[in-house]
Every structure is written in C-alpha cells, then in structure tokens.
Amino acid sequence: MYSKVSSACLYGIDGVMIEVEVDLASGIPQTTVVGLPDSAIREAVERVRSAIKNCGFTFPMQRITINLAPADIRKEGTAFDLAIAIGLLAASGQVQLPGLDRLLIIGELALDGALRPVPGVLAMVDLARRNGFHAVLVPEGNVQEALLLEGMTIYGLQHLKQLLPESDLDHGKQEQASAADSATWERLIRQPTRERDASAPAAEPSSIAEDYCDVLGQHHVKRALTIAAAGMHNLLLIGPPGTGKTMLIRRLPGILPALSPEESLEVTKIYSAAGLLRQHTGGLLTTRPFRSPHHTISAGGLIGGGGIPKPGEVSLAHRGVLFLDELPEFSRTALEVLRQPLEERRVTISRSRAAFTFPAHFLLTISLNPCPCGFFGNEPPQQLCTCSPYRIAQYREKISGPLLDRIDMHVEVPRPPKWQHDPEPRSSGEMRMEVEKAVSIQLERYAGSPYRRNGELSGAALRRTARILPEAEQLLQASFGALGLSMRAYDRIIKLSRTIADLEASSDIKSEHIAEAIQYRCLDRRSPSAS
C-alpha cells in the first residue's frame, strides 16, 4: 500500500517541490519520517495521528514509512502536515483523490483536524504554477494569499473532516460531493472555487502616511530627499538632536513611486516567506517597504540567518527604505555586513549544504548626531559642544571608511536659528511629482538594460550615461584633489549629478549639477579636529 502526494517547502524565499511518499507495510506499528526532516516535521506524526482519529478516520496500525523527496534537501516547518495526512488516508484506502498527481497540498494540522495557515504560500503557489500544476489545496487562512497569483485553482480547506465521504466540500458553491467519488472530485478540480475579493484592502508593509508639509523649513534637506528618492541614492543626515532628522526620513516612502508589477510580486514573496503578509489580502503589496530596526539588532537579524536562513531586515526592505536611526549605536559587526548588499544588492548566506541568496536592493537612510553630546558645530552659544576631538573621532569610528564611501549623500541638518512660520511648505505630493518625472526619464534611458535608476550605475555604464560638459569636468577634477575623495566617492558624485540633471530634464551634466552634488558630501569636507 503506497501513495504519493505533492507538497512544497521554503528554501530561502523560493519554493521547492517536495514529494511526500507514504508506504504501509506489515510489521510492528511504528511511523518513521525520512528525508532530512527537522523536529517540527518529525512531530507532525503526532499531530496527524490525533487529527485523523478526531475526524472519524482510522490511523493505520502498520509499519509506516514517510519519505520526503528529494532526500538530500533539509526540510523544516509545518507545511507538510496536510500532505502527510492525505497520503496516509490515500494509502490506506480511506479517501480516493485521483487528482493528486497535479494537486499541490500545503497546510498545518491542529489536533482536532482544523487547518492552520503557514508562511510562504505565495512562493509555493508560484512554484506550482511554473511546474505545470493546475490546483493547490491550502488552509482557508491562506486562500486570499494564494489567489494573488492568477492561473491557478485554489481550494481552501477548513477542516480535515471535509475529506470524509458525503462531506460538504463547500468552496463557495455549496455543492454536496463525495470525496471518494472520482468523477465528482475531477469536476471540482477543474473549476475555480472562488474569486479574489476585490473589496478587501491591499496589504501594505508600512502604514506610514505622514506628509512633508508637516516639516517646517529644512528646504535643503527636502531637496536632498527628493534627489535620493529620484535616483535611489543612499542618504545620511547628520545634525544635533531635535532638528527633525528622524521625522524627515520617516516621510520618505511618501515620495517614492509605487512598485511596478514585477517588483510588487518580488516584495510580496519576501513578506510571505517571512510570515509577515497579512491574511485575507486583496492584492499584492504596492507601497514600498520601510524598515527601521532597533540598534540592538544582530548581524544575523540584519542580513538574515538560521539553520535554513530566513530574510533579514535588508531583504524586508527590498525595493524600499532601510532606516538606521542613530547609526553609532549599532554594533560595528552589524554595520559591516551591510557592505555586500549595498554593493551587490543581494545577500548570500552560506551553510554546509547550500548557499542562499536573498534580494536586498534598498535605499539606505541613516541619521546620527555629530558627536556624543550631539552639539558639535551647533551655533547657539547656550548649547556648545563639550566633546574633545578624540571623543568625536572615537564616536565616529563605528562608521568605517568603506561603509561611508557607499553612502551617496551626507547632508547636514542644522537647528533653525528661531521658530518661523513656513507660508508655503513643500508637500509630499509635490515632491513625489518631481520624483516620478525623473524616474520616468531613467526608466526610458535604461530600457533593455539591467539598470533602472541612476544609483545602480557603475563602471562603463556610468561613463556611457553621464555626459559631463567640459567646465563641469574641470570643477569635478579640482574638487577631487582638494577634498581628497576616493574613487568610489568620485563615482557617486557623478551619479548624484546625473539625478540632479534628470530632475531638471537636462540631458547633460552641467557645472551647477556637479556643484550641488559636491555639497551633499559634507563628511568629506569636515574633520572633528576642526572643533
């Protein structure tokens, strides 16, 4: 007595097809699970046993072998519970499901037979679609997530009892059918069971909705944020406490353009794999993510980790914003692991059996005080800096030179000399219009290439794209020697200039574009010894 059903598990953020084979043989009753299962899968035997008995089925009192193939891939999680239960019932002849060879089965079982949702369903359904499957059986709580992908028939199962003969297989049609009736199951398997709920709100990874019109003054910082959003340039804001650095950065998602359909699916799969996608969603994520981890986060929490690695904060911020508030408070180890994703826009985590790659293309934003007391360079005499040059240098040592070179813009946020009413504050809507115009220019320019935004350019692609006028080139060369810029900083000034030119709809990079870009490298121009 043998049966085989198809299931899937997560491997990073992608689904992997797993065949669940069940063999019943004569001998002393015992159940063995093979195929590199983790402890959660080994414990599935007890969950399945209780669920089968509590739903009116009979658990086979035989020698049971359950194989998860391919056997050389380590599996984890509870998504195999339902597949194991159906495999046992099919092998013992208690249910007859002739569509098992083209039905993907995913779900966790409760002891009473109820189905519980599992993370990563979107990636598994996408895998099934690419492998020619026509239908997926998932817990009711995962139905709306599974329906985000078109072209698949989705069956939502609430309870294992629904597989009993003559049970009510209600999938939105109130049809009475026998699970043991091959013709009835075949008819059900070919028909869509439900439509996506268009009235349900789309899930969003961030609920940020503040507007820049709430921020009085700081027009040069808003200009810098517009440039950063238009070209996806990493940004650092430095200034004393209370100047609005955090408030300014937290409003950045409001001026970023919406995700494209491809980006939307990519981001939604990451949130699904991390178990952060809301249940009963009405669509793919459309708002760019905003992640702001606490400064106590570990290197593993930042880039991902675990026996079978899960996405970290840099991947959860993919196609969005990663905000590190008060950067020197983060550990040096955690900060240094950012160098690979900032350069390669992906994270590779190696384990003994495999290497996992997660997407990590994000806009890094940072805020920090200029010194431990926070008032270095502050003008008001009542708040003068009390830190020595040594303490300031020690405070900034956590920001290594290579990491600082990977940040395109260093912008000072001074304290306003006095409170002033801003008669015409710039709103997020106005800034977003400027950003979208510049982004459309870049998308047209880079059509057919692997690049989308100016911040992604490097090497020969940057040289081809950045047409610098002779007088602008002279200004850049003079600044390079005077400021002692690294070659990486030199390239980043060119990329910034290209974005500034796009905001002005200029095909060439002019002197004023270079001059403005150089102004956004304040840490290249200042030294703590100046105190």
Hey, is 202 helix, strand or coil?
coil
CA separation for the pair 98, 35 (Å, rounded) = 25
Confidence (pLDDT) at 352: 73
Placement of tokens 């002739």 in the chain: 98
pLDDT of 527 reads 45
pLDDT at residue 172 is higher than 70: no
Bond before 70 cis per omega within 30 degrees:
yes
The answer to whether residue 279 scores a pLDDT higher than 60 is no
pLDDT confidence bin for 64, thresholds 50/70/90? very high
Q: How far apart are CA 414 and CA 376, in angstroms?
A: 11
Name which of 278, 343, 281, 346 is nearest 312 in CA terms.
346
Report the pLDDT averaged over residues 272-294. 80
* Secondary structure letter of residue 352 according to DSSP: S
Which of 157-161, 371-375, 393-397, 485-489 shows the highest mean pLDDT?
A: 157-161
pLDDT tens for 4-36 read 999 999 888 889 999 999 999 998 999 999 999
Residue 387 and residue 395 in contact, taking contact as beta carbons nearer than 8 Å: yes
The number of beta carbons lying within 10 Å of the beta carbon of residue 280 is 14
Q: How far apart are CA 268 and CA 199, in angstroms?
A: 19
- pLDDT class for 323, splitting at 50, 70, 90? very high
Joined together, the tokens standing for residue 142 give 């995962």
- pLDDT greater than 90 at residue 121: yes
Q: What is the pLDDT of residues 286-318, one digit of tens each?
A: 889 999 999 999 999 999 987 778 899 999 999
Token couple for 402: 């290579």
What is the dihedral sign for C-alpha 213, 216, 219, 220? negative
Q: Look up the pTM and report it.
A: 0.85
Residues of the chain with pLDDT > 70: what percent? 85
pLDDT at 382 over 70: no
For tokens 């409003």, the residue is: 251
Please determine, for residue 54, whether its predicted confidence score (pLDDT) is greater than 50: yes
Write down the pLDDT at residue 99: 65
- Report how far residue 205's alpha carbon sits from residue 313's, in angstroms, rounded to the nearest whole number: 12
Q: Is 3 helix (H, G, I), strand (E, B) or coil?
A: strand
Is pLDDT larger for residue 487 or for residue 327? Answer: 327
List, in sequence order, every beta strand (DSSP E) within 102-187.
Answer: 103-105, 108-109, 115-116, 135-139, 153-157
The pLDDT of residue 66? 96
pLDDT of residue 91 exceeding 50? yes
- What sign results for the dihedral spanned by CA atoms 304, 310, 312, 315? positive
How many CA atoms within 13 Å lie on the side-chain side of 379? 7
Residue 295 near residue 329, CB atoms below 8 Å: yes
Query: Does residue 197 register a pLDDT over 70?
Result: no
CA–CA dist 290, 299 (Å, integer)? 19
Q: In the predicted model, what is the mean pLDDT of the chain?
A: 84
pLDDT at 403: 86
pLDDT at 81: 96
Say which residue, 178 or 22, is predicted with more confidence: 22
